[in-house]
Amino acid sequence: MSFAEFLHQVGGMGRFQIIHTMLLTIPIVLMASHNLLQNFTAAIPGHHCQVHINANNTGYPNATLRLDSKDLLRVAIPMDRNRQPEKCRRFVTAQWQLLDPNVTEPNGTQLDTEPCTEGWTYDRSMFTSTIITEWDLVCNLQKFQQMAQSIYMAGVLVGALVLGGLSDRFGRKAMLIWSFLQLAVMGTCTAFASSYISYCIFRFLGGMALSGFGLSTACLSKACLFRFVYTLGQILLAGLAYGIPDWRWLQLTVSLPFFFFLIYSWWFAESARWLVLAGKDDRAVKVLQRVARMNGKWEEGEKITTEVKSPNGVFNEGLDPQVLNLTRLHFQQAAHSSLCFSLSMVNGRFSTSFSYYGLAMDLQNFGVSIYLIQLIFGAVDFPAKVVVTISMSYIGRRISLSAFLLLAGLVIIANIFVPRGGFVRTSLAVIGKGCLSAAFNCVFLFTTELYPTPIRQTGLGFGSTMARVGGIVAPLAKMLDDYFTFLPPVVYGAAPIISGIVATLLPETLNQLLPDTVEEVETQGVCAWTGERGDMTMKSLGIADLNGQ
């Protein structure tokens, strides 16, 4: 009897599994809130230099104007090319002559200006407080906004590497409990951070915990429902941010629930498969008996004992040491010999994540309500996931992935030529976000089907790592805006376009059996450009073998 058949005997998808899945699903809602939180906690409100004019030295009879009046801004702050007050400079002395409607502000540097030496005045009509207003992360310090998000994503990467390994050693439940505790504590500490450095440290540790929580949840209950719940979390974030304009309270709101999740997480059952593999047969039996009882399978549960374990028994099913050793022996060989896999791992996962977070973390750039665009960005994931599911089932993985990546890249670049704040610009951004979301689903399934069984998990792990690296680099690419405003969208659009072209070289896996060995991949692959079964190694493509040169 296989392990799957054994689990079905003690209840299958019964009461226990339903409750277990529901309790694991609830925290997923707030996963999106933490990933995209800086759209609101690090939003940049309208700002200009603080105005301080000594009325006694101006000689102007009406110098004592209201601090926030347009007239005072006119004489104290120069105008930019869009005829808006400059954000980073002010006049050295008040230019009272500019109040005369017949006088225009001179071009160039005819009027002396200086940096905002006394700080900034912020528009608090939308955000009462953000980390930007808290620590004046504007002008030459604006790059620290992107740095904070990259540091958080770096924490997500480190968490996957560290907590993922600890999960294999100490168990899924133990790491899930620890991740809930760490995220609750670090998220709360972030809300009370007294400096930018402490904020980044707490966010980094929170990112680690979020990654560990996500990995443990996936191991304890594999459910496609999680993807849709994550989308609901994006929509919920828009409502929370609208109702809570203060960044500290918003941070606290999405962090405190994890203390509640921590309390009920002790009820979760450890993975029976992991317990068996770890040699904890007694605990595995207790877990399975508990599942059987909750599912009403009392008799089946009583029959479960450690005596079930035998050389051919259920507890030893499917653990071939030779197969496990293939992971170490053949991973490097497969990575070198298959150009398709290398390109799919690096380009597909990296570029999709890179452009996805580049678009999703730049909501203020569209010139419409940041809350509305967050709501739409979240809602578009629903039809995107439905469309990609249908497309992959009937058209194929290769064409679907390539089409979604190419379309996403093209609409992102097209937005360069569309004025801000218009319906067309917003629509293109939404289409791009939907295509990238669809590509996320497609590339994950496609990569799973491309890798042979012995290195499938290793390949998925490497692909996941590249996706997180893309999330780290995405905010940093926004810094190119300091040089040319069109550079970030060009980079964000070029990445999926290149990956879309590369995807056309991949073999189609629709209605194909999953490869069980590396040799099957190398000798039975379908070369996309010929449609014939044949060798997919680098030598067959006329490219030097990396092992040889």
What is the model's pLDDT at position 323? 38
What is the model's pLDDT at position 347? 61
362/277 same-domain check:
no
143/241 same-domain check:
yes
> 3-class SS at 399?
helix
Structure tokens at 190: 């972030």
The whole domain housing 192 covers 1-27+136-318
| Distance in angstroms (rounded) separating the CA atoms of residues 436 and 71 | 46
- In the chain the first and final C-alpha atoms are separated, in Å, by 49
Q: Could you tell me if residue 238 is inside a domain? A: yes
75/176 same-domain check:
no
Entry pTM? 0.78
Q: How confident is the model at residue 532 (pLDDT cuts 50, 70, 90)?
A: very low
Q: Could you tell me if residue 127 is inside a domain? A: no
393/454 same-domain check:
yes
Q: How confident is the model at residue 37 (pLDDT cuts 50, 70, 90)?
A: very high
491/536 same-domain check:
yes
Q: For residue 196, how many C-alpha atoms fall within 13 Å in the half-sphere facing its CB?
A: 19
* Domain harbouring 216, CATH code: 1.20.1250.20
**C-alpha separations of 30 from 27, 164, 258 in Å:** 6, 20, 9
How far does CA 399 lie from the centroid of its chain? 24
Per-residue pLDDT of 39-87, as tens digits, reads 999 999 988 888 876 544 444 544 444 444 677 777 788 888 777 888 8
How many separate domains does the chain show?
3
CB 359 within 8 A of CB 492: yes
377/254 same-domain check:
no
Q: Could you tell me if residue 96 is inside a domain? A: yes
Domain final residue pick, 64, 90, 122: 122
CB 145 within 8 A of CB 42: yes
Tell me phi and psi for residue 230, to 5 degrees. Answer: -60, -40
Q: What is the average pLDDT score of the chain?
A: 76
79/99 same-domain check:
yes
Domain final residue pick, 266, 301, 318: 318
Q: Could you tell me if residue 35 is inside a domain? A: no
Q: Could you tell me if residue 33 is inside a domain? A: no
Q: Could you tell me if residue 42 is inside a domain? A: no
Per-residue pLDDT of 170-213, as tens digits, reads 777 888 889 899 999 999 999 999 999 999 999 999 999 988 77
Chain length of the chain: 549
Q: Could you tell me if residue 364 is inside a domain? A: yes
Q: Could you tell me if residue 32 is inside a domain? A: no
217/335 same-domain check:
no
> 3-class SS at 120?
strand
258/149 same-domain check:
yes
Domain final residue pick, 94, 122, 150: 122
288/364 same-domain check:
no
Per-residue pLDDT of 478-495, as tens digits, reads 888 877 878 888 999 998
| Distance in angstroms (rounded) separating the CA atoms of residues 425 and 366 | 7
480/399 same-domain check:
yes
Question: Does residue 393 have a pLDDT over 50?
Answer: yes
| Distance in angstroms (rounded) separating the CA atoms of residues 241 and 165 | 35
310/212 same-domain check:
yes
Burial letters for 391-414: b for 16+ Cβ neighbours within 10 Å, e otherwise? Answer: bbeeebbbbbbbbbbbbbbbbbbb
How far does CA 475 lie from the centroid of its chain? 11
User: CB burial class (10 A; 0-12, 13-18, 19+) of residue 517?
Assistant: middle
312-316, 318-322, 344-348, 513-517: segment of lowest average pLDDT: 318-322
Q: Which residues pair with 234 in a beta bridge?
A: none
Instruction: Look at 462 and 363; give whichever has higher pLDDT.
Output: 363
Tokens 């709501």 belong to which residue?
A: 375
| Distance in angstroms (rounded) separating the CA atoms of residues 237 and 351 | 25
Q: Which residues pair with 48 in a beta bridge?
A: 121
